[in-house]
Amino acid sequence: MTSSMKAVVKTGPEYGAELKEIPVPDPASGQVLVKIQRTSICGSDLHIYKWNKWAENNVNPPQIMGHEMAGEVVALGEGVTSVEVGDFVSAETHIPCGQCYQCKTGLQHICVNMKILGVHTDGVFADYAVIEEVDVWKNDPAISARYASIQEPLGNAIDTIRAGEVAAKNVLITGAGPAGLLAIPVANAFGAATVIVTEPNDYRRDLAEKMGADFVINPLEEDLEALVAEVTDGVGVDFVAEMSGAAAAIKQGLKQITPGGRIALLGVPDGPVEIDLAPDLIFKGIDMIGVTGREMFQTWFIARRLLKEEKIDIEPVITHEFPLEDFAKGMELMESGNCGKIVLKP
């Protein structure tokens, strides 16, 4: 194994990142070293790249970027027993403390002392990366590295759709970014009766159709209320999966839910969102559910089954694959919105 590697490093508190040649890290006790086969760009990577307020408050450069990946274990730190050299793995990206109230009660994914791979620690946009043993997920060898790399956002989509108990129900997905797009085949695999998707970007509306949505509309130009009334016989949708974080989409989504229905929110708004609670939530008896990350590790088992049994086709969501060196091209595309998932190959 070589002693140096290339890595995409956030070098300072400003726009951009640099490709650097740096030493291959040593796995410490309880960690494994993984040779990265594929990695993929997440919305949070773009925030770190552009250096927004959230990044400023969470990231401490210099640091290697990235958290979504698939690769092969090449070395073990002291005390690692559940993983072997040669295992084909991906990484859960929430690093739980294991000691807090949440961790001790089966809620590791919302640990109060949570660290996130590639946000609070060195990430995976590199030839090699160090992963905590607790976060290592052994992939089924039948799953390709590019699909295995995007299981992390697929887990976000699974957790959101799961919250809706969508079997035989009418579902509205607001926002067709990568997580929204992945939510479409998941909703279909879970047995949704109809899947309606709203998305202002033309390119992503087109992708939403390819991913298997029944109805796809531009909420800024078309009449969502009329469409929902027609599709649901005037009842309204049973469940909204809010994937955009846009205040307008959250408000519009709430209005489409039938009384007694549910909304799960995965999209992260920039700031406070004003909701008219009495008519839109309280008097309609709506369940509102916050979703963060993925339940560990239930969502990974579901992702494995769906991929292995080909219950979902996620190929259309991977719109671009670049060499790692071209990460800046990937970031620009992400910023334009004219892409699905962008996969990088070291």
Residues contributing to the site for Zn ion (CB under 5 A): 42, 68, 96-97, 100, 103, 111, 113, 152-153
> Which residue number, 100 or 248, has a Cβ lying nearer to Zn ion?
100
> Which residue number, 262 or 341, has a Cβ lying nearer to Zn ion?
341
> Which residue number, 93 or 258, has a Cβ lying nearer to Zn ion?
93
CB of 111 to Zn ion, least distance (A): 3
Q: Phi first, then psi: what are they for 14, rounded to 5°?
A: -155, 175
**Residue labelled with tokens 């490093």:** 9
The SS3 of residue 217 is strand
> Which residue number, 51 or 239, has a Cβ lying nearer to Zn ion?
51
CB of 85 to Zn ion, least distance (A): 26
Distance spanning both ends of the chain, measured CA to CA: 15
Cβ atoms of residues 243 and 199 within 8 Å: no
DSSP E strand boundaries for the chain: 4-10, 18-23, 31-40, 63-64, 68-76, 88-91, 94-95, 115-116, 128-132, 136-138, 170-174, 194-198, 215-217, 237-242, 257-265, 287-290, 318-323, 341-345
> Which residue number, 152 or 238, has a Cβ lying nearer to Zn ion?
152
CB of 97 to Zn ion, least distance (A): 4
What residues have CB less than 8 Å from 110, skipping those under 6 apart?
Answer: 102, 292, 293
State the Cα–Cα distance between residues 4 and 25, nearest whole angstrom.
Answer: 9
> Which residue number, 100 or 328, has a Cβ lying nearer to Zn ion?
100
Q: What DSSP string describes 280-333?
A: IIITTT-EEEE--S--TTHHHHHHHHHHHTT-S--GGGEEEEEEGGGHHHHHHH
CB of 197 to Zn ion, least distance (A): 20
User: Which CA distances in Å does 344 have to 24, 146, 304, 330?
Assistant: 19, 9, 21, 8
Signed CA dihedral, 99, 104, 109, 111: sign only: negative
CB of 99 to Zn ion, least distance (A): 6
> Which residue number, 109 or 169, has a Cβ lying nearer to Zn ion?
109
> Which residue number, 119 or 211, has a Cβ lying nearer to Zn ion?
119
Number of H helices, E strands in the chain: 12, 18
Query: What DSSP character marks residue 173?
Result: E
> Which residue number, 86 or 290, has a Cβ lying nearer to Zn ion?
290
CB of 45 to Zn ion, least distance (A): 7
State the Cα–Cα distance between residues 21 and 106, nearest whole angstrom.
Answer: 40
Joined together, the tokens standing for residue 9 give 């490093």
CB of 207 to Zn ion, least distance (A): 18
CB of 102 to Zn ion, least distance (A): 5
CB of 288 to Zn ion, least distance (A): 23
